[in-house]
Chain A
Amino acid sequence: LQFLNWLEMADEALFQFLHSEIIQYVNSAEPGESENGRCVSKLENMGFRVGQGLIERFTKDTPRFKDELDVMKFICKDFWTSVFKKQIDNLRTNHQGIYVLQDNKFHLLTQLSAGKQYLEHAPKFLAFTCGLVRGALSNLGVKSIVTAEVSVMPACKEQILCKNIKS
């Protein structure tokens, strides 16, 4: 059982390293401070494609969700656990299409050192995940805008805002 846990964590490490390399690549392909937005958007789009792909295969046999809140709970529990090995710590909503998901220990940020100078790089480390959530929601029939921010480092609290776009 111990070995099985190790195997699961190994998946995590491999993805973490790949994620980090991708950020480096996108960063180097778009040199200059002013290109930060382009980096973030590239990373977000990649995440979107992956999020769609993950959900496509996952929910083939799962019964449909009751409502939007049910979808968000799925993201917070099943989806987040599959991808990040833990659940979302806190979910809040205004019941009018805005959801705030909070992860108190977002592991993709743990590589960034504490300190103000790294906060400017944090958006790049969040972009892929935002895309991931947006892609997953998209395939579940929810069109959204997903943004994230880091509240406290090194606690790496990450807040994700899902705004359901009504067509």
Chain B
Amino acid sequence: MSRQSNRATDSKKMNSELFTLTYGALVTQLCKDYENDEEVNKQLDKIKFTSHVVLHRFFQEGCAAGKITNKMGYNIGVRLIEDFLARSSVGRCHDFRETADVIAKVAFKMYLGITPSVTNWSPAGDEFSLILESNPLVDFVELPDNHSNLVYSSLLCGVLRGALEMVQMAVDVRFAQDTLRGDSVTEIRMKFIKRIEENLPAGDE
């Protein structure tokens, strides 16, 4: 009987590891693919970004794989939001504070099984931090030596950015602290940029 229950809990754990391990395999592949810088620049030109702020930072970091995973994250986020809204039956958020709570307490819990805390609000209320005890995507992945850990962070940033864009919010998402870099916690900083106007068909007024 106890053997069966061990298997059950292991099953659940194994499933949550599937996403993390798959993401790790993707990053390994990307780092392999983009070892050559010239190749990098060629590939980058093909990729469209919606947030010039994020693009600028990545150029500074010089990590191509990070740009790719951010874009992938964005694509995932754009689809994930529909899935999330269908599952959670959360209504429209009235302000950024409500958004923050929903992201931390509902979305993160639902998809990654963790609940980050929401802190460090800016005085204007347009920027906050999500604090995670660890980086949820890198529990058991080894970081290739000469690659920036920005690569691991950027998928998550992309997902948040893409998802919120679908609910008419343009946000900037970045990692402020990362346990991979030796910080004690992982901190995701989210800044509200502007509301995106929904496109109405001409002559609707």
A residues adjacent to B (C-beta < 8 A) = 6-11, 13-15, 17-19, 21-22, 24-26, 28-29, 42, 46-47, 49-50, 53-54, 57-58, 61-63, 78, 81-83, 85, 128
A6-B110, A14-B80, A21-B76 as given contacts; A57 in contact with B22, CB under 8 Å: no
Query: Which listed residue (B22, B79, B111) contacts A10, Cβ 8 A?
Result: B111
Nearest to B113 among chain A residues (CB) is: A7
Q: How far is the CA of A83 from the CA of B17 in the complex (A)?
A: 9
B11, A82: Cβ atoms under 8 Å? Answer: yes
Interface residues on B, range: 35 or more
Main secondary structure of the interface of A (DSSP, over half): helix
Known: A58-B10, A61-B6, A82-B11. A10 touches B87 (CB 8 A): yes
7 contacts between A and B (CB under 8 A): A21-B76, A29-B33, A46-B25, A57-B17, A58-B14, A62-B7, A83-B15
- Whether A13 pairs with B14 at a CB distance below 8 angstroms is no
Contact of A53 among B13, B15, B21, B43 (CB under 8 A): B21
List 4 A-B pairs, minimum CB-CB distance, nearest first. A82-B14, A82-B11, A46-B25, A21-B72
Contact code string B61-82 (vs A, CB < 8 Å = 1, else 0): 0000000100010011001100
Instruction: Tell whether, in the assembled complex, residue B14 and residue A50 are in contact, meaning their CB atoms are under 8 Å apart.
Output: no
Asked if B83 lies at the interface with its beta carbon under 8 angstroms from chain A, I say yes
Interface contacts beyond A82-B10, A82-B12: sample of 17 additional A-B pairs, CB < 8 Å, sorted by A: A6-B87, A7-B113, A9-B87, A10-B87, A14-B76, A22-B72, A24-B72, A26-B29, A46-B25, A46-B29, A47-B25, A49-B25, A53-B140, A54-B17, A58-B13, A62-B7, A82-B15
